[in-house]
Amino acid sequence: MKRLRHLIDISDLTTAEIDGLIATAEDIMTHRAKYAHACEGKKIATLFFEPSTRTRLSFEAAMLELGGSTLGFASASASSTTKGESVMDTIRTVGAYADIIAMRHPLEGAALAASQRSIVPVVNAGDGGHCHPTQTLADLLTIKNRHGRLDHLVVGICGDLKYGRTVHSLINALSRYPGNRFVMISPPELTIPNYVRYEILEPRSAEWTECRTIEDCIADLDVLYMTRIQRERFSDINEYERLKDSYVLNAEKMKAAKADMSVLHPLPRVKEINVDVDDDPRACYFRQVEYGKFMRMALILKLLADAESGEFPDPVRRPLTDLGTYRCGNPKCVTAVETDLKQMFSLRDATHDIYRCEYCETKVKKPRY
Ligand code: ASP
């Protein structure tokens, strides 16, 4: 069977490959004509089971600028999901029409599940509150372009660090470069999930601190990555209402920041960046949108070339442990809905019998039979 390359998690790319994608994106930015026919005859399917403006359109714009074409749907209600079709069957079907699939889904682990069934490369365009690797590619190009490097930076990440999937992927990528230090700015209820803490930051000995206000740390930062509070992920709307205006960056607060600090935001913003910051030369969030398209162009080229050659490193997957009939208990995990999926668990802590679900990375304690 043909070997396929997917991008499910930013860990699927080596650091050298990320640097290579940045180099290709920079080349595309300066030599647009050279790439105008690179994907002639190729199609991308954008399957968005959850709302999107930038990500879906930028995948489509990316393929069009490479000379290819696009098909797909922009909401679950426009697909056969409403008739009860599984994601797995949808994916298998779309592989008959397209050469590559970009998929967004509200369930954590949905892209990994899709990749198991797909006959073409799958790109995770966001799986619930889990991860969003192509937003990270856009973020990295923005930072590289602004600061000339991806290492030895002080990076403040502010807002919803619990449900913000872009935050998880960004930390995963930036903690691989030497000398970066993170300042996590969030209310106590929205701090980073345990798996980011114990499986990304801790094993890499990444330096990080927590802070409750922007004012307390803005002067130290090279990058301030703002995020919105993720309303759609809260099970208690009152909790969202209480936390939604936790942070607002404005021109007044920017006065204390370094002259070359950059402000990023994956967008959409709600109220967390005041419009009076937009004209500040340090505001990079609209440029970040443009960079997203160039990085997605570079990624499409790479995944199609890798699918063609079949030559690429194996994705780093943890060895699986059979937990019998035990099922992941996370209601937001794809396995909670797509019940035919094979459960996959890997060992996290042998001393305490702790495992993790490979789809959503939720930790589970080995059941006693
Ligand atoms: N657009 C980003 C995402 O899809 C950020 C956000 O929605 O807040 O995760």
The reply to whether ligand 1 has any atom less than 6 angstroms from the CB of 266 is yes
For the CA of 104, the nearest atom of ligand 1: 4
The CA 228 to ligand 1 mean position distance, Å, reads 8
192 by Cβ neighbours in 10 Å (0-12 / 13-18 / 19+) ranks as buried
Q: Among residues of the chain, what percentage have pLDDT more than 70?
A: 99
Q: H-helix or E-strand containing 240? A: helix 237-243
The DSSP call for residue 369 is -
The CA 266 to ligand 1 mean position distance, Å, reads 6
More confident residue, 345 or 325: 345
pLDDT of residue 301: 98
Residue-wise pLDDT tens digits, 54-106 = 999 999 999 999 999 999 999 888 777 777 888 889 999 999 999 999 999 99
The reply to whether ligand 1 has any atom less than 6 angstroms from the CB of 228 is yes
The ranges of the chain annotated as CATH 3.40.50.1370 are 10-132+289-309, 151-287
* Domain 320-365 fold: SH3 type barrels. (2.30.30)
Angle of the 54-65 helix axis to the 133-147 helix axis, nearest 10? 70
The CA 166 to ligand 1 mean position distance, Å, reads 7
The CA 159 to ligand 1 mean position distance, Å, reads 12
Rounded Cα distance, 359 and 234, in Å:
20
Rounded Cα distance, 228 and 244, in Å:
8
The reply to whether ligand 1 has any atom less than 6 angstroms from the CB of 165 is yes
The reply to whether ligand 1 has any atom less than 6 angstroms from the CB of 56 is no
The CA 37 to ligand 1 mean position distance, Å, reads 30
**Cβ partners under 8 Å of residue 327, min gap 6:** 335, 336, 343
Given CATH 3.40.50.1370, say whether it is the number of domain 151-287.
Answer: yes
Residue-wise pLDDT tens digits, 141-189 = 999 999 999 999 999 999 999 999 999 999 999 999 999 999 999 999 9
The CA 286 to ligand 1 mean position distance, Å, reads 14
The ranges of the chain annotated as CATH 2.30.30 are 320-365
Ligand 1 pocket test, pick from 46, 53, 59, 166 with the greatest ligand atom count within 8 Å of Cβ, gives 166
The CA 319 to ligand 1 mean position distance, Å, reads 31
Phi, psi of 70 (to 5 degrees): -130, 155
For the CA of 227, the nearest atom of ligand 1: 8
Rounded Cα distance, 162 and 188, in Å:
10
The reply to whether ligand 1 has any atom less than 6 angstroms from the CB of 104 is no
Structure tokens at 41: 């005859």
Rounded Cα distance, 312 and 302, in Å:
10
Residue-wise pLDDT tens digits, 240-288 = 999 999 999 999 999 999 999 999 999 999 999 999 999 999 999 999 9
CATH superfamily of 10-132+289-309: Aspartate/ornithine carbamoyltransferase (3.40.50.1370)
Confidence of residue 366 (pLDDT cuts 50, 70, 90): confident
The reply to whether ligand 1 has any atom less than 6 angstroms from the CB of 169 is no
pTM (predicted TM-score) = 0.96
Structure tokens at 31: 């030599």
Ligand 1 pocket test, pick from 267, 270, 289 with the greatest ligand atom count within 8 Å of Cβ, gives 267
251 and 228 in contact (C-beta within 8 Å)? Answer: no
Please name which of 225, 282, 226, 227 lies closest in space to residue 251, comparing C-alpha atoms: 282
Give the residue ranges of DSSP H helices in 133-182. Answer: 133-147, 165-174
CA 183 to chain centroid, in Å, comes to: 19
Residue 208 pLDDT > 90: yes
For the CA of 125, the nearest atom of ligand 1: 4
The reply to whether ligand 1 has any atom less than 6 angstroms from the CB of 128 is no
Catalytic residues: 54-55, 83, 104, 132
Amino acid at 74: A
The reply to whether ligand 1 has any atom less than 6 angstroms from the CB of 166 is yes
**Nearest protein Cα to ligand 1, atom 4:** 126
Ligand 1 pocket test, pick from 123, 135, 190 with the greatest ligand atom count within 8 Å of Cβ, gives 135
